[in-house]
Structure 1
Amino acid sequence: MASSMTDAAVKAAIAAVESESATLVEKIEMLIELATEFQKKPKDVEPLWQAVELYRSAITLSSDHPLLWARAQAGMGTALRSIPDDGTDLLLQARDCYQTALPVLQEHASSEEIAEAEMNLGLVLQSLVSFHQARLVDAIQAYQRALRVFTGDAYPQEFAILQNNIAIAYLSMPLSAEGDDMRQAMAVQSFRQALEWVTLIDHPSEYAMLQNNLGNALQYLPSTHPVENNVQALLAYDEALKVRTVHDTPLEYANTIANKANVLLNLPDDLEHPEAGNPNCLSQAKALFQEAAVIFERYGRFDQMRTIQQTLEEISIS
């Protein structure tokens, strides 16, 4: 059904392009607008491939209209990077689309449109790092250029996403042992900067994402006060769980409760007397791990389920 609806929409777009009542600019704009619609919450990859074809048609028609040409290039990049692919071909094509579009956007487009392209370029570059096809420093630089426009006060959601991605990039950097403390601290700082501008009420999804990731960074932050960091991490996970619920976002919920369980493993029951041990925290951790394992199994996340089961076995042995 989805495919036939997509085909019908593409035929409608072609008919509009062929219509004599539309100017060339209007035809290009129709193609870009329809392609953009296909990219919104697609149920499978077919609408994304159709969007790519519509963008290509728009690019072909817009040789004398540089801004429209660049918008079509950037839009095609976003469609390509959204298509699941085990390799790098589509990501490399997406990177080329953004890098081709950006000089033209910088000459003709608004600052927000340029910043959006920079942000998307950063996402692609960050995805290519694991394939040794890009450098994290280049992704961070793209994000930082976008932050010149997407400030916390004017664009809190975009600011939060950028700071989150920068923090994750810091944590992924293969630095020397001497640099580990700095990168962890910079990641924590980025998460906290983002949380200054997003709120539980106005931006629940971004708020939960940042709190969960802040908890992860705090949990592994090298420090002379590990217990204090773990307490802060626990608070961050609890904030994330105000949004992430087993009914609304089961996989995100499972991830967060598993992260929380990891903290509880290393937290004493009595902060004033850590020598007394942590049987209560350990019991809570087991329950959370078991709940997360059930959810991961239900949704086919067997690697995560097995990791938790291994942790539970280790707890039982110790």
Structure 2
Amino acid sequence: MGAALASDQFRAALQAAEAESATPIERAEMLMEIAMGLQARPQSADEINSAIELYDKALTICPPQEARLLRGRILARKATALQAIPEQGTKSLESARFIFEEVIPLLGEIGMPEEVAEAEMNLGLCLQSLAGAGRAKITDAIAAYQRALRTFARGTHPKEYAILQNNLATAFLSMPMTDERGKMREALAVQAFEEALKVVTLVDDPVEYAMLQNNLGNALQYVSSSHVIENNLRAIEAYDEALKVRTRETMPIEYANTISNKANCLWNLPGDAEDSQVGNGMNLSMALMYYREAREIFAVHGDLGRAQIVGEALMQVERELMELSAVLDRPSTLLS
């Protein structure tokens, strides 16, 4: 049904583009609106490609001089559609990057600040993806996000602000952590997640809240710091916040991700926060419980790769518990 509706919309858009009763600018605007509708919740890559075709048709109709701003807006929307194309390689992302870099100065000249900031945010996403493929610098993505934050401030645009802070954090964490600047970037990532959580709440945005808390926990757990125990305890609190939303019944894969992250944290957390030399048998047994449950969920849902990774961690924890039991000279009842 969805595919048939999209096809009908596409045909209607092409017919509207030929309507003599509307001006070229009106027809271009109509095509852009229909393309945005197709792109909003695509059921397949075909719908994204149809949207791009409509944007291209709109650009051929739109007068180049008297409708410069409209052309800029159409180009910016086309670039976001190119970003959404699933593909092997980076051809579409490279095209989207080129368009954003071309259109941002135009929007800055005659568009609204929010349009410029949205284009900068999308350019940052594009650059971040390209950086992962070795086709761009992650620092350029960070710079684009920071430019967008000049407009998308916490008090005026909380939703965009939270997205940008999450993007900044993941960008910081993707950079090499081999020097002192790496430690600073880890700290900046933690700070960015915490900034996002100032505007994303459990009540209003539960899914985003859980994602951010899970990501904050990961950042805290692995940050290079002299306050390892304190950071791990804060990470566990963050995972527990995420688990208020990520339940086994409603979000099984996300739940398994978070409990396996929490297990990693417990594995490295001493039993006594005041003395890192005290044995962590209780934390190891809790980690074992979480690893077992996560492995079961991943296996049931066909994610055998993650099930194997969790299973390997589980076996190591089992060995450590057996060694701890031998040291304490008492039989372990944790491995049943």
CA contact (8 A) 1:161 1:206 kept: no
CA 1:288–1:43 in 2, change beyond 3 Å: closer, same or farther? Answer: farther
Alpha-carbon displacement from aligned partner over 1:132-153 (angstroms, at most 9, x marks no partner): 1110110001000100111111
Q: Distance in 2 between matches of 1:38 and 1:2?
A: 10
Counterpart position of 2:308: 306
Partner of 1:25: 25
Which residue of structure 2 lines up, in the alignment, with residue 295 of structure 1? Answer: 297
How far apart are the structure 2 equivalents of 1:220 and 1:134?
26
What residue ranges of structure 2 are gaps of 5+ in the alignment?
321-336
**TM-score, scaled relative to structure 2:** 0.90
Aligned to 2:149: 147
- Deviation for aligned residue 1:244: 1.9
Identical-residue share of aligned pairs (%): 49
- Counterpart CA distance in 2 for 1:295 and 1:8 is 41
Contact 1:254–1:295 at 8 Å: present in 2 too? Answer: yes
**Matching residue's letter, 1:168:** T
Counterpart of 2:176, as a letter, is P
* Structure 1 Cα separation of the partners of residues 178 and 12 of structure 2: 56
1:47 and 2:47 equivalent?
Answer: yes
Cα deviation for residue 205 of structure 1 reads: 2.6
User: In 1, are the aligned partners of 2:76 and 2:103 still within 8 Å (CA)?
Assistant: yes
1:129 corresponds in structure 2 to 131
CA distance in 2, matches of 1:165, 1:300: 29
Amino acid at match of 2:50: Q
CA distance in structure 2 between the partners assigned to 1:98 and 1:246 by the alignment: 41
Equivalent pair of 2:3/2:43 in contact (CA under 8 Å): no
Match of 1:97 in 2: 99
> Which has more radius of gyration?
2
Which ranges in structure 1 are unaligned for 5 or more consecutive residues?
A: none
Matched, 1:61 2:53: no
List 4+ stretches of structure 1 deviating above 4 A. none
The answer (yes or no) to whether the contact 1:160–1:206 under 8 Å persists in 2 is no
| Pairwise CA RMSD | 1.7
Structure 1 distance, partners of 2:317, 2:261, is: 15
Q: Among residues 235, 258, 261, which one is paired with 2:260 in the alignment?
A: 258
Out of 102, 108, 116, the residue aligned to residue 110 of structure 2 is 108
Task: Give SS of 1:314's match.
Answer: helix
Partner of 1:243: 245
Q: How many residues align?
A: 318
CA distance in structure 1 between the aligned counterparts of 2:46 and 2:38, rounded to whole angstroms: 9
* Residue pair 1:121, 1:142 contacting (<8 A) in 2 also: yes
Deviation at 1:173, TM superposition (A): 1.3
Provide the residue aligned with 2:186 in structure 1: 184
**1: CA distance between counterparts of 2:47 and 2:250?**
26
Q: CA deviation at 1:270?
A: 3.4
Stretch moving more, 178-187 or 126-135: 178-187
> Is the partner of 1:39 in helix, strand or coil?
helix
1:223 maps to what in 2? 225
Write out aligned runs for 1:11-22 (5 A): 11-22=11-22
Q: In the alignment, which residue of structure 2 is the partner of 1:6?
A: 6
1: distance between equivalents of 2:177 and 2:239?
27
Deviation at 1:258, TM superposition (A): 1.2
Question: Which letter maps to 1:222?
Answer: S
**Distance in structure 2 (CA, Å) of the matches to 1:154 and 1:284:** 43
Mapped to 2, the partners of 1:201 and 1:155 lie a distance apart of 18
TM superposition shift of 1:187: 1.0
